[in-house]
Structure 1
Amino acid sequence: MAADRRHPAVNDVYLTLVGASNTLADVQRRLDLEFRASYPDHANPAKLVGRVKRVQEEVAALKDLCRDLLAQKQELIDMMRTSLAAQRSATQRLLASSGLPLMTDDEEAAYASLKQVIDEWTDQLKPMGVRMGRMKTPTRSSSPQSF
């Protein structure tokens, strides 16, 4: 055999390296078994980490979109509140000038309830730090608008 023709010191090194190679092969086999038991078939930890990072980036982008949507929703609510108050005031003036009875208690209660709901909504948004004023408002033209 070839091992018999070598110097005894080289033979000892060779046997040590063969033993180390066998030990490393056993470690690799055990790691493979542990990996297969830990991860589903064809799972690649590097790809999983990459996917987790992409999902985290997508979540951050969705958070920004939600904040923008909430800001736009709040802006719309504020515009509707202003419009509703102006229409209510105009209705009360028209009723008073026409001699018709003013708003009933039920109508006043409904208006107060709506105001309370809007105020509660606004109070809920304050802790979230929704940025206001990001939505562009349409510019008014000089031509009359029909409703």
Structure 2
Amino acid sequence: MEHNQAVDGLLNLFSKANRDLSAVQNKLHKEFQQVYPDHANPMKLVERLKKIEEEMSSLKDECRELLAAKQDLIDKARTVLVGNRTLLHKLQSSTGVPLTKDADDDAYESFNQVINEWAVQVKSRKEEEAAPDSGDINQMLFSAIVQSN
């Protein structure tokens, strides 16, 4: 394949510029290594910051997925627990056994206390932030966790 002289000259110019820039990059890298210890090398810090910025997006997505799964687990546990308590109360009343009161069921009370404390914490954080998408419990949970870290 034949090239025009102008194209050949342009290719040579770009190749030389690429070599020159690579040489400058290598020289700067060596100078930074000599001047700064490894943990304080500005070039490495910039590279690390770029990597963190790239990973932050996927980390946020993973947190949202985790919080959605957590909320789903809480909802399902509450549904099952309330359903089982209803069945237990029906069984107790049909057999003439006195009904178990919420205050007498430590596991049920503990579960409700944990859920209520979490809801209060999330609600107070959400009110502090006054974010526009109120109502999305997963976003509230994510904000509460991210802000506390």
Runs ≥4 in structure 1, deviation > 6 angstroms? none
1:114 maps to a residue whose letter is: F
Q: 1:106 to 1:122 in 2, by over 3 A?
A: closer
* Residue 73 (structure 1) aligns with: 70
Q: 1:36 aligns with which of 30, 34, 37?
A: 34
Q: Larger Rg: 1 or 2?
A: 1
Q: How many residues are aligned here?
A: 100
- The reply on whether 1:108 has 2:110 as its aligned counterpart is no
Distance 2:57 2:117 in 1: 27
Letter in 2 for 1:89: T
TM-score where L is the length of structure 2: 0.52
CA distance in 1, matches of 2:42, 2:102: 68
> What TM-score results when the alignment is normalised by the length of structure 1?
0.52
Aligned equivalent of 2:133: none
Q: Name which structure has the greater RCO, CA cutoff 8 Å, separation 6+.
A: 1
Which structure has greater helix proportion? 2
Structure 2, unmatched stretches of 5+, are 1-26, 127-136, 141-149
Unaligned runs of 5+ in 1: 1-27, 133-147
* Residue pair 2:89, 2:99 contacting (<8 A) in 1 also: yes
Matched with 2:92 is 95
Structure 2 match to 1:130: 138
CA contact (8 A) 1:68 1:131 kept: no
